[in-house]
A and B are shown apart, each in its own frame.
Chain A
């Protein structure tokens, strides 16, 4: 059974940083591209970033480009999202998901909440 478990969220001041993690199990992690999707309070789902299975290719939504960095450690079966220069509108539940691009997001985690506030 595929399991994805996010962690690392919390309360951070504007301009601050966090590193989100997603621990994966139940599949050969290095074989699959992964993505981050977020949902702001009262809003819909928004694609944030994706990374290939090897980590050699990364893609970002315009809203986070230059501030967020996606990465992965295939030895640890873990996906990361480094979020910098946080703004109030980055407040959201951040989900990791298995899949990317033209491939569907076929498994999702429960999410981790990031709150940006002074």
Chain B
């Protein structure tokens, strides 16, 4: 079971939008709508940003949105802010009560 593929890094200026892709297989990303995204500032606890492909937990700004098409899921951050600079991981259900994380993407705010 290999990790879904994410770009190693993306960047954008404040106010711009960035999109992070998460490409897996029909056994994980493409097979289920249990796809979540986590924000991780180094040294801190990871934070759930999106679950079930496109749902936001309470308290997460609506600048964060998720989508999926086939074996690829995407996280879009609109109106980029300095505090959004962090590592982002997708995570997909992979059957038999297991999950698999993507390799992670570093978002840099220029």
Contacts and interface: CB of A to CB of B under 8 A. Distances in A.
Interface of A: 4, 37, 44-47, 50, 57, 59, 61-62, 95, 97, 100-111
Contact of B103 (A44, A47, A101): A44
Report the contact-size class of chain B (Cβ under 8 Å from the partner).
20 to 34
A45 B104 contact: yes
B69 interface: no
A110 B43 CA distance: 8
B93 A102 contact: yes
A45 B38 contact: yes
> Mostly helix, strand, loop or mixed at chain A's interface?
loop
Interface of B: 1, 3, 32, 34, 36, 38, 40, 44-48, 51-52, 57, 87, 89, 91, 93, 96-104
The winner among A59, A97, A101 for most chain B CB atoms within 10 A is A101
A101 B45 contact: no
Given A44-B103, A47-B99, A57-B97, A105 B48 contact: yes
